[in-house]
Structure 1
Amino acid sequence: MALHQQKLRQFPQSLPERVISPQALVMNQNGQRILGYTMPLLTHAEVLLRYCDLRRRVKDHCRRQVGRPSRKFQQAADTQAVVDLFLDLHETVSKLHFADVVIGDFNDLNILVQGTQAFVIDADSFQFGSFPCSVFTARFVDPLLCDPQGTQPILCRPYCWESDWYAFTVMLMQALLFVNPYGGVYKPSDPAQRLPQAARPLHRVTVFHPQVRYPKPALPCDRLPKPLLDHFRQVFEQDWRGVSAIAIGKFALAHLSVLWGGACSLYLSKLCEIRGNRPTDSARFGSSDNGSANGWSDFGGDVNGGAATVADLGGGTV
């Protein structure tokens, strides 16, 4: 508590405009103890978690199609909006790091969305100067900061700017594919290789693992441009961090809507049709009984192809 009192008094000023940070401090009668603080009021905003929920995205898309907007979520979250949103968030995170501030507990409940603008909240937990961030969210904490021998991710090392970008990449993947990097069901053929679900991040057993059953409600991962899909694999399987990883990720994201936006829009429309015409089949989301893709050529490419190269994205060879 004493540390938090000091932290609020030394909270950085002139942070990016998308950061909802403490402003005026509310003191006790003798002015010695901080009782609270004021912050800007953000209205008509939704948590980023909503963008990562397939059922809500389909519902919002369907309402937009029939001209009945949701009262709580006025703008349908199509792919272009998601891309613009994450580019906006990318700029805010970059500016925070330039100011020597680390978000720390960076997760989809600490981001509020208005249109394509992303606002970072819970700023009083930010890490800066001699004030660490000690809270974490297991789904977003960088496994490199956790005990590799544990049964679940538990923060045991200080946050850094790279861990913020790890969490950013988790949220981006969830918003694009509707699946967590460690989602799906891991069923190794060797019983000795079995792991608790919560321990999979510590062993880098991702949704891309050949013995992980990819969830049917998720958008097939081969719908992503290859550079972005490779970026996800390198971050979550090969512990790729650093400036080059950030640059590649932003480059692929910036070009995503051109190559993939129509595919996602058609996918959501397909789900609307399933939801409206065959509600008992909605959990299947168009997959065949044998687990193979069903009709994905309608979404901009064949089942095994359709992955864009770096050259396709406007870049040179690597």
Structure 2
Amino acid sequence: MRVVIGGKRVRLDPRKVLGEGGEATVLLWAERGARRAVKLYKADAAQRLPKLSALVAVGPALDGIAVLPQAIVHDEATGAAIGFTMPALEPGFEPFALLSRESFCAAAGLDLARLLAAVHRLGYAVRRLHDAGIVVGDFNDQNELVRPSDGAVAFIDCDSFQLANLPCEVSTEAFLDPLLYGPDAAHPCATADGAPRWFGRGSDWYSFAVIAFRSLTGVHPYGGTDAAHPTLASRARAGRSVLSRGVVVPPKTRSRIEALSDSLLDGFARVFEAHDRRPFSLDDLRSASVGIRRCSCGLELAAGRRACPRCTAAGPVRAGRVSTETLASSDGGFFAVAADATRWSALSREGRDVVATIGSWGRGDSVRRVVAAAAGPDTLVRLAPVMAAVCTRSGDFATLVLVDLSSGVRVSESTTEVAMGAPAFELGDGCAYRIAKGTVIELRADVHGRVEEVPIGSVVSEQTVLHRAGRGVVAVTAVLGRRSYQWLGRSGNVELDVPSLDPGEALITEWIAAEGDLAIVLRHTLLGGVEHVRTTLLDRRGTRLRDRVEAASARRGGAALQGGVFSRGRVLVATDIGLVRHDPRTADAVPFADTEPHVVAECPLAAGPRGVLVALGSKLQLLSLA
């Protein structure tokens, strides 16, 4: 497509998609060695010009902390403004939302001190924005990014910022200051007259405190349960946080909260219970990172915490309908698990290595450990019971190495494309997948360790990512606002009838799985400031069997999607209330309350013949449900 930037005609490659949102598509623009990004709106952008021009003017002063507009982009044919250019972030940045997931932190090597350092940097960035006359407004954990390797932070979606007389016109319910709620209790993002609300520095510091608290504890400050205030929004209005007496949270979460320093907890209480909107103390964040120690149970404790809240609170766990068995322990945190009928395996990060722990289902059998890969900021690892796929990005391509976990020996090395900022690869049942020049290739090792490569389908090059799907793979392609889904395998390829998102609806995450003749697509989305979960069940012909959309707040287990198991047409996922089994055919959700002490939201699961394998911190446990 051809556009005009700075008076010069430019050709943009629609295959270079960096991101897709409800309002715009972001493309990579590389010219003469310089890498920049171009944000193209899906609707007319004329009304955005005054704010975009103002942001272009302040951009140079905030380089390094906010991805601000640099130049306006015009349509070549009509001359209309259709977007803007901005710096292209280097690889490695992830949404702050991921910091609330223990498995992500384990894979990235993020301990409590590094989490505190990242949150401190975010607070410093907020100060700089305020000093420049900018209010973030729609401040949430999807539009603030962090690079785990060095703690660098960056604001994106900066065209929504508020400055001078130009308002921020969007909000996200989970991060909106309750002092700014609209009159409708069921829809707090909606204002009385439909006009944009005016945010302030105080509301930014409120949102910052929510992000900080979630990153450090894994729970929203107004999470938990309170009989008198059944919804998050009602608890926020009443100032009933998880720090309040009588608000119930899982014991594992309560211990993470109580392990923080008193000064931090006092600061959070002032924000969430006394509605204090003064700038959060960055000194408290800095001092809290000094003197942290790790208890033998794995919980990290602030300096001065003599007793571990997890150990002192632990009493006899009610067995109920679940029995537990610890299969392995790790000096680092487990972040991936896999299992089949005879074997299981798990990955943990220990120092500079990614270590695989392997065992079999026979009682008393020995457990082995091998180094699967060197841990690094550009390295991703996928796991199967007897194999690991190690992918290391380098520019527009990535090196893919298959490792036999029984010996630790590399059995194959090849390359794969990078799509939407991430390497396009996956590891399935006994085989791996990569993409080369738009061709999806299956890699399968024979009994002698030789790897056979078989092309199984064609996709759009550099715009397709892969998801494991039983004895195949689902290829998801994004082309200028449209996503398509293909189920590929040696038995044949089909297009999946996955419905498009509504206008203005943004995809946060998606989880795809398949078993036998069924596939499921779960999507966590944001529309009108409210989080939703879309569930789509399909058959092997690609026909849609069920489709359901529900608010995340009304769903058992909320928006927990990742790390689950798809078996017998149902999804089992770890949530804050324990394991929950969702049946997409009937929309039934069955919680297993007795598992609540043994899991946290979205911890990795794998199904085996003796129960469910759970990766939780430094322990690998087997849960057997009655």
Selected match of 1:204 from 239, 243, 266: 239
Using the size of structure 1 for normalisation, the TM-score is 0.73
By percentage of residues, which structure has more strand?
Answer: 2
The residue number in structure 2 matching 1:233 is 269
C-alpha separation in 2, matches of 1:48 and 1:252: 20
Q: What is the CA deviation profile of residues 250-296 of structure 1, one whole-angstrom value per residue up to 9, with x for unaligned ones?
A: 1211111114354599327699489979x999752499xxxxxxxxx
Which residue matches 1:291? none
Structure 1 gap segments, 5+ residues each: 61-74, 188-192, 288-318
- Other structure's SS at 1:147 match: coil
Higher relative contact order (CA 8 A, sep 6+): 1
Indicate how the Cα distance of structure 1 residues 152 and 31 shifts in structure 2: closer, same or farther if over 3 A, else same.
Answer: closer
Instruction: Give 2:128's aligned residue.
Output: 95
What is the distance in 2 between the residues matched to 1:253 and 1:158?
28
CA contact (8 A) 1:111 1:121 kept: yes
Superposition deviation, residue 202 in structure 1: 1.4
- Looking at structure 1, the residues matched to 331 and 140 of structure 2 have their Cα atoms a distance apart, in angstroms, of 30
Q: Secondary structure at the match of 1:51?
A: helix
Residue 271 of structure 2: SS of its match in structure 1? Answer: helix
Partner of 1:138: 173
Structure 2: distance between partners of 1:180 and 1:194: 15
Mapped to 1, the partners of 2:284 and 2:296 lie a distance apart of 16
Alignment of 1:275-294 (within 5 A): 283-285=596-598
Point out the structure with the larger helix share: 1
Q: Which residue of 2 aligns with 1:169?
A: 209
Quote how far apart the aligned CAs of 1:149 are.
Answer: 6.2
- What is the CA-CA distance between 1:7 and the residue it aligns to? 1.4
CA displacement at 1:8 relative to structure 2: 1.1
Aligned sequence identity (%): 29
Q: CA RMSD in A?
A: 3.1
Tell me, yes or no, if structure 1 residue 57 matches structure 2 residue 105.
yes
Aligned residues: 262
- After superposition, the C-alpha distances for 1:71-101 in whole angstroms (9 at most, x for unaligned) are xxxx312112112112211121111100100
The answer on whether the counterparts of 2:59 and 2:69 sit within 8 Å (CA) in structure 1 is no
Q: CA deviation at 1:235?
A: 0.4
More deviation in 253-262 or 77-86?
253-262
Residues 131-179 of structure 1 show CA distances to partners (whole Å, capped at 9, x for unaligned) of 1001011111111111366235326441011111111111111111111
Structure 2, gaps ≥5 residues long = 1-44, 192-196, 301-329, 338-345, 347-358, 360-573, 580-593, 601-626
CA distance in 2, matches of 1:238, 1:166: 12
Q: 24-33 or 95-104, which moves further after superposition? A: 24-33
After alignment, is 43-52 or 121-130 more displaced? 43-52
1:100-119 matched pairs, under 5 angstroms: 100-114=133-147, 115=149, 116-119=151-154
What is the DSSP-based 3-state SS (H/G/I as helix, E as strand, rest coil) of the residue aligned with 1:38?
Answer: strand
Contact 1:271 1:282 in 2 (8 A): no
C-alpha displacement of 1:25: 1.6
Instruction: Find 1:76's aligned residue among 80, 91, 109.
Output: 109
1:186 aligns to 2:226 (yes or no)? yes
Cα displacement (A) at 1:26: 1.1
Which residue number corresponds to residue 13 of structure 1? 59
The runs of at least 4 consecutive aligned structure 1 residues that moved more than 6 Å come to 268-271, 273-277, 279-282
CA shift for structure 1 position 3: 2.8
Quote the offset at 1:198 in angstroms. Answer: 3.5
Deviations 1:92-128 (A, max 9, x none): 1111100100111111100121130111100000000
- The alpha carbon displacement at 1:45 in A equals 1.5
Contact persistence 1:173–1:180 (CA under 8 A): yes
Counterparts of 1:122 and 1:270, CA distance in 2: 38
Larger radius of gyration: 2
